[in-house]
Amino acid sequence: MSTQNPADQFIQRDDPSVYETQEPVLYAVKDGIATVTMNRPGFNNAQNSQMTYALDAAFRRAVDDDEVRVIVLCGEGKHFSAGHDIGTPGRDVNKSFDRAHLWWDHTNKPGAEFNYAREQEVYLGMCRRWHDIPKPTVAMVQGACVAGGLMLAWVCDLIIASEDAFFQDPVVRMGIPGVEYFAHVHELNPRIAKEFLFLGERMTADRAYQMGMVNRVVPRAQLAEEVQTIATRLASQPRMGLALTKQVINRVEDLQGLRATMDMAYGYHHLAHAHGQLLGAGHLGGHDAKSMVAANKNDATDKNA
């Protein structure tokens, strides 16, 4: 009789990822401003783990450098970020990295533990860590800011968007109640957050501005200049004054329930991933990058009909 626990049967997963670049994030410092650039324009800056770890390293570098007073996060190419990588050749969910937190390696874990540990590290954990960077951060958003892209914009202190930017969290279509860093009801009032999530539609930059989710909206041609102007003004403020102000406001957000909301939502999020797997549809509810793009196109067609 076998006494082996099925849970001990670690799943051997191959890592088929092929990176198109060794520089998924670019880093530059000028006049006290560190510019951190997501650099997978061929894939609309989809975030694989290679990128999230490179972002984490870039932010740490910016924090450690006394010359850096402010950090700008931007995306190379047409779009800020299409979200988490769910379908490029560089999708590397089965790869191990030198982790930033104390959760254990996910790659040899069975059942729901695989995704729970992985997303705790590369999504929820890293986003919370970046939200609390003691230096001011500015997101410069053009084009798509979708799902995982929202998380990166939301962790920044200020969001400056171009007129063509749009914001969207379409993951309810996958059966999932929003992305891992569940700040929706803090970035938007609850009724708008429900509309945003239930319908999964694109929110224009103009409406995001009206809802208080972005600070400024400017024509695309002026986006970099506007961000530069704001970053330069931030860079002239005292470091400690900015750090303390940021901490106060972030702690107020936590007192308003941000951290507890995200902890709760993270559990629901992983019930959804596990539910999809129990149904045999996979943790994305039977969807992949292609089917999500197709569904988005259908929605747009329906609306124009």
Applying the rule CB under 5 A, the residues between 166 and 195 that interact with Zn ion are none
User: Smallest distance from the beta carbon of 127 to Zn ion, in angstroms?
Assistant: 12
Could you tell me the smallest distance in angstroms from the CB atom of residue 119 to Zn ion? 5
CB of 208 to Zn ion, least distance (A): 23
Q: In what order do the strands lie in the sheet with 203-204?
A: 144-146, 166-168, 203-204
* Closest separation in Å from C-beta 175 to Zn ion: 11
From the CB of 275, what's the least distance to Zn ion, in Å?
Answer: 12
Which of 72, 289 has the CB closer to Zn ion?
A: 289
Q: Find how far residue 58's CA is from the centre of its chain.
A: 15
- The closest alpha carbon to 58, from 34, 89, 84, belongs to 34
Residues in Cβ contact with 291 at an 8 Å cutoff, skipping those fewer than 6 apart: none
Q: Which is nearer to Zn ion, 119 or 187 (CB)?
A: 119
Site size toward Zn ion (CB under 5 A) is: 1
Beta strands in the chain (DSSP E): 25-30, 33-38, 70-75, 137-141, 144-146, 158-162, 166-168, 203-204, 216-218
Backbone angles phi, psi at 58, to 5 degrees: -65, -40
What is the smallest separation between the CB atom of 283 and Zn ion, expressed in angstroms? 7
State the burial class of residue 26 (Cβ atoms within 10 Å of its Cβ: 0-12, 13-18, 19+): middle
Chain centroid to CA 126: how far? 9
Q: How far is the CB of 124 from Zn ion (least distance, A)?
A: 9
Q: Considering the complex, what minimum distance in angstroms separates the CB of residue 281 from Zn ion?
A: 14
Tokens of 163: 């007129």
Q: 62 vs 124, which CB is nearer to Zn ion?
A: 124
Q: Which residue is nearest to Zn ion (CB)?
A: 119
Q: Name every residue whose Cβ is closer than 8 Å to that of residue 250 and which is 6 or more positions away in sequence.
A: 131, 132
Q: Which is nearer to Zn ion, 119 or 169 (CB)?
A: 119
Q: Please identify, using beta-carbon distances, which residue of 31 and 288 lies nearer to Zn ion.
A: 288
State which residue, 82 or 231, has the beta carbon closest to Zn ion: 82
Q: Where are the beta strands (DSSP E) in 50-163?
A: 70-75, 137-141, 144-146, 158-162
Percentages of the chain per state (helix, strand, coil), in multiples of 5: 45, 15, 40
Nearer to Zn ion, 180 or 187 (CB): 180
> Torsions phi, psi of 206, nearest 5?
-60, -45
Rank residues 29 and 281 by Cβ distance to Zn ion and give the closer one: 281
- Residues 95-154 binding Zn ion (CB under 5 A) are 119
Judged by the rule CB under 5 A, the positions of this chain that interact with Zn ion are 119
